[in-house]
Structure 1
Amino acid sequence: MSFSHVDDVLVDRIYEASLIPEQWPQVLRDFARMAGAQEAALLAADSEGSKLIGSSPAVDEIAAKVFSYPAGIERTRRLVALRHPGFVTDRDVFTHEEILNEPMFADYLIPSGYGRGIATAICVPNGDTIVLHAEGNYHDGPFDSRTVQALDALRPHMARASLLSARLGIERARAAAEALAAVGLPAAVLGHGGRTLAANDLLVALMPHVVQDRSARMTLTDPSADALLRTAIEAVGRSSGLYAVRSIPIRATDEHPPVVIHLVPVRGAAHDVFAASSAVLLATPVVPKEVPGANVLQALFDLTPAEAKVAQAIGNGETTAGIAASNGASLNTVRNQLAAVLAKSGLHRQSDLVGLLRGVGLDPVFKPS
């Protein structure tokens, strides 16, 4: 079995778990195995609290013990504060001396066969924070770059799937209408080809200025964004091509803030809950004061960490020449990375990207692809 095929299978399971949360422990076990770790955990936090799900029952005990140490809270705080649009390791947030001297590591994690952590913090546009963490044996040494790159490739899929699971309260939905009511975000269940099967009141409120319920399929009012949605719906309908699925930015207007549309495929046993469906469409408002621009774009639009850093710098008003100089890269490289950011986010100009990141209206000259 090839490495890419294993990835496709795991991505399928990730989207299956988004609607059947009982599947998350197995997904997390697969994720831990991919990372070369023993255990993994998914932590979802919003304004009302946090929820933890682990790869095994042992994770609850490990997490409780870790967070009993000041360094456990500091570990998560540093991870989130780093705002890195990808996976980072303990050695990225702690010095070697800190790891050897911190009681959490020295007295508990390392003697227990752990202490080799790799994690990512995913900041969702509505302000939710999702942490995905794998814990391995300290004596196995640092994580290699190939492992980090492989996990980075899974990160956008985990972001979309875990957002839906978190909003379902990590509880199994019994029916499409019940599930959509529980999400607390504008949402709709789409059938094959993108036809609307069910929608909650929050999504209906976005009609027709953001979405339109047409007979053939659900569409987006913005023609450029709708072209991306059509491509994503077509990708969901195929047995392969999962990596073509991405989230879609909707520009702000005078009356409405920017919105990000997520398309979450319905896979495997999730069809038992969402009969005859192919995907769940979610809409999340962009809250720029709470969400770093690079994290939003990397998590939602499948950017590489390098592309995300370029996007963040552009959002901060830096020029491509300035970015090249500060990153030690060629101007041509930075321009290519910026072009990739625009293509993946469905935008056409640098000013549109700045507008999305800052949560303001995009330039009205917004042409379809």
Structure 2
Amino acid sequence: MSDQALLRRAIEAAHHLEDPAPPWTDILTAARDVVGADSGSLLIFDGSGALLHLSQVGVDADGERDYREHFHTLDRFAHDAMRQPAGQWMDTSRMYALAQFRNTEYYADFMVKYRMAQVQAYILADAPTLRAAISFQRGTVDMGASDRLERGPAAAFFHTLRDGIARRQHAVYSHLANLEEAFSSFDEAICLVGPTGAVMRVSPLAREIFAGPMFAERHGTIWHADPRMRAMLLQSVAMTCQTGVRQSMTIPAGTGVTVTIDMVVAGPSLRVAGERCVLMRMQRRGSEDKQPDPDHLAAVFRITPAEARVLAALVAGQTAAAYAASAGVSVNTVRKQIAMLMTKMQCNRQSELVRKAILGQG
């Protein structure tokens, strides 16, 4: 196929970037052929440097697995390149002295194994919370490749690709803004986070929730003052990303304040290129809200007074351990009471108990 035909095919593929599900395999294949490389990759990282997405063409399946599971953390070139502004070309043969680069674990144990002598990358997005690049791998070094790509028809194609990504990002933010407006009418805040809990986008109401003393955003990541609760939060985010199964929980967020969180995998309209991220819906209940009355709960749900007191404590944001300490009973006793509550109230999760109790207060 002629160079002009390759460019036409590449530009045609790039024009589909605003589709609900862009044909990334076609875009990557066309871009690789324009560059004249052996393989091509699309990489997306969050603000913390965690890998959100990897798509590849022409790459050994073992190599893709090794990179995804381990070597992306050692890829000095990718992390250096991702600090650059969108529209920049980066090249390992330009950036590093070969003798120095050869001593890195990434080069010695990954690039050599999969016959990569040179890697070039074009930066597609440089937002603080999401960075994307399209990279190309060669088995031999071509010192003039970057010069050819930075001007002429090939440069025009990559500018088209970058502009398409920018438009798609804008469409994502617009859709998220519409969701924010819809959920805010129900006093629900939303937050988009990566698999490690890195915050990618928050609604104004979510900012208010994160301004509290216990549940907040710290260094770009969701955070809780209680280390155990923080670990549970991050584990739930990771589990949602990994399995696609919806997760729900209620956490204490201050004196008399709780936040109920619902987590689902973000849909295609909230992703630039299939990156893994979670949409968190949050609703805060403050001390000004109606406090649970154990006698009322016992009557509504036909539970014992002791179980009703435990349920009221859960609604108020107390953990099983905290309630046990305040009531002078063992944690095991409280946990058995929670298990019995789940059976009687036909709930599978503690968060469901809290929701049902709140709705049942009338």
TM-score (norm 2): 0.40
TM-score (norm 1): 0.40
Higher relative contact order (CA 8 A, sep 6+): 1
